[in-house]
Amino acid sequence: MDPITVAVERGGIVESRHRVHAVKLRDGRVTEAWGDPQLVTFMRSAAKPLQALPLVRAYESLPEEEVAIACASHCAAPEQLEAVKHLLARSWSSEEDLECGPVEGSRLRHNCSGKHAGMLAVCAARGWPKRDYRLPDHPLQQEIASLVAEAAGVEDELPAATDGCGVVTFAMPLDRMAAAFSRLAQEELEGAARITEAMTALPELVEGAGRTATEVMKALPGAVAKGGAEGLLCVGLPDGTAFALKAEDGASRPLSPAAGHVLSVPSLESSSVENSRGDVVGSVFALVESG
C-alpha cells in the first residue's frame, strides 16, 4: 500500500501534500502498512518513555508528575516547569547541571529538560558521575542503548547519532519502533507500568493541548503515545496493537490527520489552517482513496 497522503487545502485548492509512512503491529507481526514499514529513521523524542525506564527502576516511588515530565516534550507551561524543578531536586541538581541547550535563556524551558532531569536523578541514584551524562560512553547512555534495543527486539547494536538536545538517539525501522511501544503498552518491560500510568493519567504534561500525542492519549483511554522530531509518532494500545508513523518530509502537521486515519479517531482526521488573524482559511486532512 502507498504511504498516506495528507493534503493541505486553502480556498478549496490543495496547495501542499505530505507523504506519511505508517505501520500497524499486532502480536509481534505487521498486520497493515502504509508505505514502507521497514523505513529506517531516528526515534528522537519518541524514545523518551524508554529512556525513562532507568529512572522508575532507580526510585521505588515517584509522583506521576515527575515520571510524566521525564517522558515529555513539554511546552514550558508553568506546571511542566514545576515538575522539572521537582525532578531536578531529587539529584540535588540545578538548572546549570542540565546539559541541554537554553531556550529563551533558560535550560529549564528546553522541551527536553524533563528527560535530562530524569537522567541526572538516575546518575545520583546509581553513583554515576553527573557530568557528561548525555554522551555515548557514559554508563547511563550505554544502559539506555541496551534497553531500547531490548524493547525493540533488535539483537544488533542500533545505529546512533546525537539528538537535538545533545543526548544519544537511535535509528531503527518503523516496525521495530511499533514493537517497542507494543511492549511498553502491555507493560512487558520492568517499570513500564509506571511509565504508562503516568503518561495516560497526565497526557497534557507529556506534550500539551493540541499536540498529536496528547490528543491521541485523550481520545483513546489507555493508549500511550509519544511524538518525535522530524515528523515521527509512536502509539501503543493496551491490547498490544501498536503503530509508528513517519512523515517523509519531516513535517509535524500531517501526523494528526494520518494518526486519525490509521487509529480511526475522527476528531484527529482533520485540522484547521488559520491565518495571523485567527481566521480559519483551510484544512489539513488525509486523502483516502475510495474503493
- pLDDT, tens only, 40-59: 999 999 999 999 999 999 99
Average per-residue pLDDT in the chain?
A: 96
The per-residue pLDDT for 153 is 96
Rounded distance between C-alpha atoms, residue 25 and residue 231, angstroms: 19
Q: Return the C-alpha cell found at 199.
A: 503518561
Neighbours of 26 (CB within 10 A): 15
The per-residue pLDDT for 291 is 39
Say what percent of the chain tops pLDDT 70. Answer: 99
Q: What is the pLDDT of residues 158-212, one digit of tens each?
A: 999 999 999 999 999 999 999 999 999 999 999 999 999 999 999 999 999 999 9
Quick check: 81 pLDDT over 70?
A: yes
Q: What is the pLDDT of residues 199-242, one digit of tens each?
A: 999 999 999 999 999 999 999 999 999 999 999 999 999 999 99
List the CATH code of the domain at 4-287.
3.40.710
The per-residue pLDDT for 45 is 98
In the chain, where are the structural domains located?
Answer: 4-287
pTM here is: 0.95
> What is the DSSP secondary-structure string of the chain?
-PPEEEEEEETTEEEEEEEEEEEEEETTEEEEEES-TT-EEE-GGGGHHHHTHHHHHH-S---HHHHHHHT------HHHHHHHHHHHHTTT--GGG--SPPBTTBSTTSTTHHHHHHHHHHHHHHT--STTTTSTTSHHHHHHHHHHHHHHT--SPPPEEE-TTSSEEEEEEHHHHHHHHHHHHTT-STTHHHHHHHHHH-HHHHS-TT-HHHHHHHHSTT-EEEEETTTEEEEE-TTS-EEEEEETT--STTHHHHHHHHHT-GGGSEEEEE-TTS-EEEEEEEE----
